[in-house]
Amino acid sequence: MKIITISREFGSGGRELGKRIADKMGISYFDREIITAVAEGSQLDENYVEAVLDRGLFRDIPITVGHSIAGATSIHHTTQRIISEQQRIITEMATHNDCVIVGRNADIILRDFKPLKLFVYADMPAKIQRCRQRAPEGEHLSDKEMAKVIKRINKSRARTHTYLSPIPWGNKEGYHLCVNTSDTDIKALAELLADYAEHWFARKDNQ
Amino acid sequence: MKIITISREFGSGGRELGKRIADKMGISYFDREIITAVAEGSQLDENYVEAVLDRGLFRDIPITVGHSIAGATSIHHTTQRIISEQQRIITEMATHNDCVIVGRNADIILRDFKPLKLFVYADMPAKIQRCRQRAPEGEHLSDKEMAKVIKRINKSRARTHTYLSPIPWGNKEGYHLCVNTSDTDIKALAELLADYAEHWFARKDNQ
């Protein structure tokens, strides 16, 4: 069983890296698919599901049904349902597929599968540059504003993680390998990491 | 120019990893050689030089000459001389050799060489196990006592680093790659990292 989880800073290229590792290894890649599946399973809007999953249990988001707003208890119940559904779907995906899963705290959710856990990060100038290349809609932002956005998103990822694990998000102790993507070629890096992963799993199987 | 610096937690296998990477790449490996060269260059005892380098400028160590103890100013002067001599020797080694340098804050001393900077770490049980294998003289220590020794040495490494760089020792932002050696085969890991390094330098040369 080959399960790789990729936690990553916003703007570090973790998603591209994960996709390329999966391609190179010929295994599945799950990312947005998870949100889509959770939305389908819980019969809720995909954007709403994504917002809930990004904020976690500690902050319920009002759900508007037509013009009325659902009550607090119902919202909290929905939040819990979405989180459980995500957990169920990620576990099911990992049970049936060798795969790379990006984000979604899969490193914690799948801890019993003993996945290979990677953390992908980059220097701030590299993250800003990547964000500019990927999302031209942010072009009106100054570097300082862009850095602020990146920090806010990463802070939110760190916070969600806090509720699931005693090891803080991005703390190297929680991962097998932490890779700085600044000034590296993601494509070549993916090939090297795919080799690393194959070796890691071969050894794991022999133990 | 291929310069790899390896910072490592005590007991993580960083030294063996560094040696193997150097062998695989066919480049020089410097570790104890540096202390020997500093001792020769400054005409001081190797053990004394090592103690000074491990504690840094912020704590002078009395030097005994025969039965008399040198005065405080002279000790401080000697400490500074040893640190400068180390800096000179590491820079000279890197100028004339493609090499792997383990420890000695070479990542900071050689910053202008733009080295590939690795950090090697491991879970505490793995570090304890490695220490037991490598140093049978510690066999009377309990796991708890052994963990205490490991933590003390790592704390000292972290402290020395603090005086040289704004990024704390072991903080992933200061390195290109952080590798957890728990449950891994150092020999195979070294081969993978040698590939990674070769690719990294090839890309650097093309920039």
- CA-nearest residue to B180 within chain A is A176
pLDDT of A141? 86
- pLDDT tens digit sequence for B96-127: 999 999 999 999 999 999 999 999 999 999 99
Residue A140: count other Cβ atoms within 10 Å of its Cβ: 6
pLDDT averaged over every residue in chain B: 88
> Over 70: is that where the pLDDT of B69 sits?
no
Q: Tell me which of A185 and B139 has the higher pLDDT.
A: A185
Residue closest to A17 by CA, chosen among A101, A124, A106: A101
Read off the pLDDT of residues A121-130 as tens digits, 9 standing for 90 and up: 999 999 999 9
Question: In this structure, how many other beta carbons lie within 10 angstroms of the beta carbon of residue B41?
Answer: 16
Facing residue for A172 by CB, picked from B172, B188, B200: B172
pLDDT tier at B63, thresholds 50, 70, 90: low
3-state helix, strand, coil split of chain B in percent (to 5) is 60, 15, 30
Structural Rg of chain A based on CA atoms: 18
Residue B178 reports pLDDT greater than 70:
yes
Distances (CA, A) of A127 to A14, A106, A131, A140, B66: 11, 23, 6, 16, 58
User: Scanning the structure block, which residue is given the tokens 């800073």?
Assistant: A9
Residue A22 to chain B, least CA–CA distance (Å): 18
Distance (Å, rounded) from C-alpha B88 to C-alpha B37? 10
| ipTM at complex level | 0.84
Q: In what order do the strands lie in the sheet with B99-102?
A: A28-30, A99-102, A3-8, A116-121, A177-180, B177-180, B116-121, B3-8, B99-102, B28-30
Q: Does any CB of chain B come closer than 8 Å to the CB of residue A169? A: no
- Selected residue of B127, B192, B198, B207 to mutate for chain A interface (largest A Cβ count, 10 A): B192
**pLDDT band per the 50, 70, 90 thresholds, residue B35:** very high
Q: Please give the pLDDT value at position A60.
A: 54
Q: Which residue has the higher pLDDT, A6 or A136?
A: A6
Please state the three-class secondary structure of chain A as a single string.
CCEEEEEECCCCCHHHHHHHHHHHHCCEEECHHHHHHHHHHHCCCHHHHHHHHHHCCCCCCCCEECCEECCHHHHHHHHHHHHHHHHHHHHHHHHHCCEEEECCCHHHHCHHHCCEEEEEECCHHHHHHHHHHHCHHHCCCCHHHHHHHHHHHHHHHHHHHHCCCCCCCCCHHHCCEEEECCCCCHHHHHHHHHHHHHHHHHHHHHC
Provide the number of CB pairs (under 8 Å) joining chain A to chain B: 59
CB-based contact (8 Å) between B119 and chain A? yes
- How sure is the predictor about A115, in pLDDT bands with cuts at 50, 70 and 90? very high
How far apart CA B126 and CA B179 sit, in angstroms, is 13
Antiparallel, parallel or unpaired: β B28-30 and B99-102: parallel
